[in-house]
Amino acid sequence: MVCTFSCRMRSLETAAQAGVVIVVALAGIIATEAAQYGFPAIRNGELPLWGIKVPATYPFLNISVQHLSSYFQVSSTSICTDVP
């Protein structure tokens, strides 16, 4: 096995860069299509830009996301020590 852990991590970085390009391209396509159709969700009121209502469960969701991110932080720390 010539390829070490860092070599495999570098190939994942390349795949991640390709994924970012794909996501940006899809976002551009969606924005272009929405502009061509005159932003129908905004016009119909389905997507309110200025009167966004915060749901009552928002604080609980915020706490859940914080706990999940702290879990990933701890679990990824051991991986990061191996990466140069």
Contact between 83 and 6 under an 8 Å Cβ cutoff? The reply is yes
DSSP string, 17-67: HHHHHHHHHHHHHHHHHHHHTT-HHHHHTSS-SS-PPPPTTHHHHHHHHHH
Is 84 a member of any domain? no
Q: Which residue has the tokens 């679990």?
A: 75
Number of domains present in the structure of the chain = 1
Task: Answer yes or no: is 82 within a domain.
Answer: no
Find the mean pLDDT for residues 26-47: 90
Kindly state the percentage of the chain with pLDDT values over 70.
71
Angle at 27 between CA 59 and CA 58, to 5 degrees: 5
At residue 1, the pLDDT reads: 47
Q: Which domain holds residue 35?
A: 5-77
Predicted local confidence at residue 36, as pLDDT:
93
Overall average pLDDT of the 22-30 stretch? 96
